[in-house]
Amino acid sequence: MLVITLLVSISLGSVSIPMDEIIAVLSGNNSSKSSWSTIILHFRLPKAITAMLVGSGLSIAGLLMQTLFKNPLAGPFVLGISSGASLGVAILILGAGIFGGVLTAISFSSWGLAIASSLGAAIVLLAVLITAHKVRNTMSILIIGLMFGTVTSAIISVFTFFSDAEKIQQFVFWGFGSLGNLAWNEVLIFFIIYLIAVLNLFQIIKPLNTFLLGENYSKSLGINIKKSRNIILLITSLLTGVITAFAGPIAFIGLAVPHITKLVFKTSDHKILLPAVAILGAIILLICDIIAQLPTSEFTLPINAVTSLIGAPVVIWLLIRKKKIYV
């Protein structure tokens, strides 16, 4: 399934390339037209890989948030973490125009962008966690997350107000979300950060499962809650941060994919759920990317519009059909 969607995704675009040629190029042979090889290897393949990393990364982050907050509505977007990452990027892109100097230099490096946006994500997540610890009521936590999201958006508007048109345009386009602007070296950076985050998951499979019983039981099972929570914080910030930096704030995947996965696999065991959301997330974002390509072959829709158009109805449908959603 992953392979099929990957191939379909690569085959679509303003230049149509036959499937057998794609397979030929991907397996290392030369295509009958050299331009096809270039398109596939330098544009479509990095884009497809980006889509997979984004889809699986956001889905993992969403699952972690839902388990940590014991709330089925939690997710990087809902809790304002994506907005935090946006703020990091906004400070870098827009702030460079206002403050100039060092920021300008950093804003051109993709590492700088990734780190700024991870930091932004981490700060909001930390703030949500601290307040969550104080209020404990899960409904309040979501509202607080939304508030943090609003505040960061407001700060971004203030920045926009003081920036010049060119910078604003750059930022607005970034905000639409895009999977296709990455060169290979950026994909590599993306992949390295993704890998660091995912490798850390192995440490927390057991704690995550005890979180399903609540904090007191976790503690009585010998789990160091603070440490596990910090690792979850680290993974989520890294994933949301790097994804938001390179692909823009992509909505709904982090919320919808874990629920679709739980519905399909009917389990809460993270040993199964984590790899499942990763694969399903990759597939679903590839499908979203295919849909974004379809309407006209000349243009592509902003990926963010597609994920929202698909994600929102899916969540509503899930709620109506199941009447019950699980952490």
43 binds another protein (CB under 8 A): no
134 binds another protein (CB under 8 A): no
Decide whether 206 or 229 has the Cβ nearer to another protein. 206
- What is the distance between the alpha carbons of residues 176 and 200, in angstroms, rounded to a whole number? 30
72 binds another protein (CB under 8 A): yes
Q: Report the b/e string of 254-263 with b at 16+ CB within 10 A.
A: bbbbbbbbbe
Residues 6+ positions from 177 with CB-CB distance below 8 Å: 247, 248, 249, 250, 302, 303, 304, 307
User: Given candidates 161, 216, 298, 320, which one binds another protein under the rule CB under 8 A?
Assistant: 216
Residues 257-276 that bind another protein (CB under 8 A): 262, 266-269, 271
CB 187 → another protein: shortest distance, Å?
Answer: 30
What is the radius of gyration, based on Cα positions, of the chain? Answer: 20
CB 66 → another protein: shortest distance, Å?
Answer: 10
User: Given candidates 220, 313, 317, 322, which one binds another protein under the rule CB under 8 A?
Assistant: 220
CB 226 → another protein: shortest distance, Å?
Answer: 11
- What is the distance between the alpha carbons of residues 82 and 58, in angstroms, rounded to a whole number? 10
Give the other-Cβ count within 10 Å of 39's Cβ.
20
229 binds another protein (CB under 8 A): no
Give the other-Cβ count within 10 Å of 214's Cβ.
10
Q: At what angle do helices 2-11 and 45-68 cross, to 10 degrees?
A: 130
Decide whether 62 or 72 has the Cβ nearer to another protein. 72
223 binds another protein (CB under 8 A): yes
222 binds another protein (CB under 8 A): yes
Q: At what angle do helices 81-99 and 165-176 cross, to 10 degrees?
A: 160
Q: Please report, as ranges, the residues that interact with another protein according to CB under 8 A.
A: 70, 72, 202-203, 205-206, 209-210, 212-214, 216-217, 219-224, 262, 266-269, 271, 324-327
